[in-house]
Amino acid sequence: MGGERRSEYVFKGEGEEISLDDVYAAREIVSKHAKRTPVFTNETISSLAERELSFKMEVFQKTGSFKIRGALNAIFSLSDEEAANGVVTHSSGNHAQATALAAKLRGIPAYIVVPENAPKVKVKAIRGYGGQITFCGLTMQDREDACNKIQSEKGCTFVAPFNQKETICGQATIGLELMEQTDCGLDAIVVPISGGGMTSGIAIAAKSLNPNIKIIAAEPRGVNDAADVHKSKCAGELQVDAAKPKTLADGLQAKMGNLTWAVVKELVDDVIVVSEEEIVQAMQLIYERMKVVVEPSAAVGVAATLSEEMRQKFDKSEYRNVGVILCGGNADFSAVGFWDAWTKRWKSFAS
């Protein structure tokens, strides 16, 4: 079993140390409440990539994305005293649902700050997991102000979506599982990147178990050419003023924090940037050939794996076995009129 092999590697930076032991400790917590998601293969997509692909199916994870892992580790790492007053975070996406459910599982309140223009379906999902919602304005400052206010009123703890050791170690359990499920036989792992929590965690876990494995971050270019991870890696320093990508991959619009950037800078080998067109093409392959629902953010990893850039940079015989993280399945079908289209279709039969 790959999981038995330990290294002495410890990530050190920004005042934190993260080791494989931290990831094993996170797994103790995460495995109690989250799923050990399966690894799928797919002949068609592997043949298009001319590699052997192993897909880590976080789409089937509780709440529909990997985010529950980090939220569980952060929330169950709190002392009873800290936990008693609940937790707070700001997000309208997968991290909000994850925080709400993880808090519910610990039996404490979750206060979720949500921008007032958030889709109703997402608000409903957060409430469905027991989250208590506070609406705020649209800027990051509005979000942080609302969080701070709740923290001082309730005495609750902020759960960071990515830039926190516990969150990173929670997401790292994806890497641990994938390495075990593939007997440490992967040559590279392709991970969609946003704030960098999942990428950092997987990089630490995977490189601890196999220092030669390549970690490739996959990032959307956005219609405004705003791939800030790629730009940061090229510049060798975090591009804090970079614009947010306007992209279908709405889960990949955060910017890295100091801690995740420190890990990404040290452990990520390359960043492959994909277009919106490539994202839709990858979604089509995943839906039509794997029969799996992914959100656009999850298709970004597949798009990168199939890209010309991947082909050129990572020789297909040297990097033959490649892991790809299908990180979430919370696609907004209503936003593209999917259910209406089916309804319209059957009504047309009647006429």
Candidate residues 24, 135, 158, 333; the one interacting with its own copies per rule CB under 8 A? 333
Between 86 and 220, name the residue whose CB sits nearer to its own copies: 220
206-235: which residues touch its own copies (CB under 8 A)?
A: 222-224
337 binds its own copies (CB under 8 A): yes
Binding mask 290-309 for its own copies (x = CB under 8 A): -xxxx-x-------------
- As a whole number of angstroms, the distance between CA 62 and CA 31 comes to 12
In the complex, least distance from residue 138 CB atom to its own copies, rounded to whole angstroms: 16
16-45: which residues touch its own copies (CB under 8 A)?
A: 38
- As a whole number of angstroms, the distance between CA 81 and CA 99 comes to 18
The CA-CA-CA angle for residues 233, 90, 283, to 5°, reads: 60
Candidate residues 64, 175, 192, 301; the one interacting with its own copies per rule CB under 8 A? 64
Candidate residues 126, 205, 283, 324; the one interacting with its own copies per rule CB under 8 A? 283
Candidate residues 277, 312, 317, 318; the one interacting with its own copies per rule CB under 8 A? 277
- As a whole number of angstroms, the distance between CA 90 and CA 73 comes to 18
- Spell out the residues 6+ positions from residue 35 whose beta carbon is closer than 8 angstroms to its own: 60, 61, 62
DSSP 213: -
Query: Residue 242, exposed/middle/buried by CB under 10 A (0-12, 13-18, 19+)?
Result: middle
The enclosing H or E element of 32 equals helix 20-33
59 binds its own copies (CB under 8 A): yes
Candidate residues 79, 120, 318, 345; the one interacting with its own copies per rule CB under 8 A? 345
- As a whole number of angstroms, the distance between CA 191 and CA 179 comes to 14
1 binds its own copies (CB under 8 A): no
- As a whole number of angstroms, the distance between CA 172 and CA 205 comes to 6
**Sites of contact with its own copies (CB under 8 A):** 38, 59-60, 64, 222-224, 246-248, 276-277, 279-280, 283-284, 287-288, 291-294, 296, 329, 333, 335-339, 341-343, 345-347, 349-350
